Chain A
Amino acid sequence: MRFHATFDYVPAEHEAERASNSYLMSLIAVMAGLPLPIINLIATLIFFLGNRKGTYFVRWHCTQALLSQLSLLMINTVSFWWTVSILFRDGVVTNPYISYMITVVLFNLIELIATIYTAIETRKGHHVAWWFYGDLTDMICKK
Chain B
Amino acid sequence: MRKLFLQSLVIVASFFMTWLLVSRVDWMDIFNVRENTNRLERKLGDLYWEFFNKTEKEILDHEIVTPLDQLLSALCEANNIPRDEIKLHIVDREEINAFALPDNHIVVFSGLIRESENEAELCGVLAHELAHLELGHLMRKLVREVGLSVLISMSAGSGSPGMIKQAMQVLTSSAFDRQLERDADQKAVQYLVNTKLHPEGLANFLYKMSTTENRIPDQLFWLSTHPGGEERAMDILKEAEGMTIEEEKILSDDAWDELQAQLEEL
- Residue positions of A touching B, CB distance < 8 A: 71, 75, 87-96, 98-100, 102-103, 106-107, 131-132, 135-136, 139
A92 to B10, CA, bound (A): 32
In the bound complex, residues from chain B placing their C-beta under 8 Å from that of A87 are: 143, 148
Contact sample, A vs B, 30 pairs, CB 8 Å cutoff: A71-B11, A87-B148, A88-B143, A88-B144, A89-B143, A90-B143, A91-B139, A91-B140, A92-B140, A93-B28, A95-B26, A96-B23, A98-B27, A98-B31, A99-B22, A99-B23, A99-B27, A100-B19, A100-B23, A102-B22, A103-B15, A103-B19, A106-B18, A106-B22, A107-B15, A107-B18, A132-B4, A132-B7, A135-B3, A135-B7
A11 to B137, CA, bound (A): 62
A93 to B148, CA, bound (A): 12
CB distance from B51 to the nearest CB of A (A): 20
In the bound complex, residues from chain A placing their C-beta under 8 Å from that of B8 are: 132
- Sorting the interface of chain B by its residue count into under 10, 10 to 19, 20 to 34 or 35 or more gives 20 to 34
In the bound complex, residues from chain A placing their C-beta under 8 Å from that of B136 are: 92
A135 to B148, CA, bound (A): 46
A-contact 0/1 string along B9-33, CB 8 Å cutoff:
0110001001100110111100101
Interface of chain B: mostly helix, strand, loop or mixed: helix
- From known contacts A132-B4, A135-B3, A135-B4, infer whether A90 and B31 are also in contact, taking CB-CB under 8 Å: no
Is A99 within 8 A of B19, CB to CB?
Answer: yes
Is A139 within 8 A of B4, CB to CB?
Answer: yes
Is B143 within 8 A of A95, CB to CB?
Answer: no
Told that A91-B139, A99-B25, A107-B15 touch, could you supply 13 new A-B pairs with CB distance under 8 A?
A87-B143, A88-B148, A89-B140, A90-B140, A91-B142, A91-B143, A95-B26, A98-B28, A98-B31, A99-B27, A100-B19, A135-B3, A139-B4
Decide if B37 is an interface residue (CB 8 Å cutoff).
Answer: yes
Decide if B228 is an interface residue (CB 8 Å cutoff).
Answer: no
Decide if B217 is an interface residue (CB 8 Å cutoff).
Answer: no
Decide if B147 is an interface residue (CB 8 Å cutoff).
Answer: yes
Which listed residue (B1, B3, B27, B37) contacts A95, Cβ 8 A? B27
A135 to B143, CA, bound (A): 46
In the bound complex, residues from chain B placing their C-beta under 8 Å from that of A88 are: 143-144, 147-148
In the bound complex, residues from chain A placing their C-beta under 8 Å from that of B26 are: 95
Which listed residue (A93, A107, A131) contacts B7, Cβ 8 A? A131
In the bound complex, residues from chain A placing their C-beta under 8 Å from that of B27 are: 95, 98-99, 102
CB-nearest residue of chain A to B138: A91
A107 to B15, CA, bound (A): 8
In the bound complex, residues from chain A placing their C-beta under 8 Å from that of B15 are: 75, 103, 107
A126 to B25, CA, bound (A): 41
In the bound complex, residues from chain A placing their C-beta under 8 Å from that of B25 are: 99
In the bound complex, residues from chain B placing their C-beta under 8 Å from that of A102 are: 22, 27
A132 to B1, CA, bound (A): 11
CB distance from A104 to the nearest CB of B (A): 9
CB distance from A108 to the nearest CB of B (A): 12
CB-nearest residue of chain B to A75: B15
Which listed residue (A91, A94, A100, A103) contacts B148, Cβ 8 A? A91
A131 to B255, CA, bound (A): 77
In the bound complex, residues from chain B placing their C-beta under 8 Å from that of A92 are: 136, 139-140
Is A91 within 8 A of B144, CB to CB?
Answer: yes
8 Å CB contacts to A: which residues of B168-201?
A: none
Which listed residue (A89, A98, A107, A136) contacts B33, Cβ 8 A? A98
In the bound complex, residues from chain A placing their C-beta under 8 Å from that of B19 are: 99-100, 103
CB distance from B170 to the nearest CB of A (A): 13
A98 to B11, CA, bound (A): 21
Is B144 within 8 A of A89, CB to CB?
Answer: yes
A136 to B3, CA, bound (A): 10
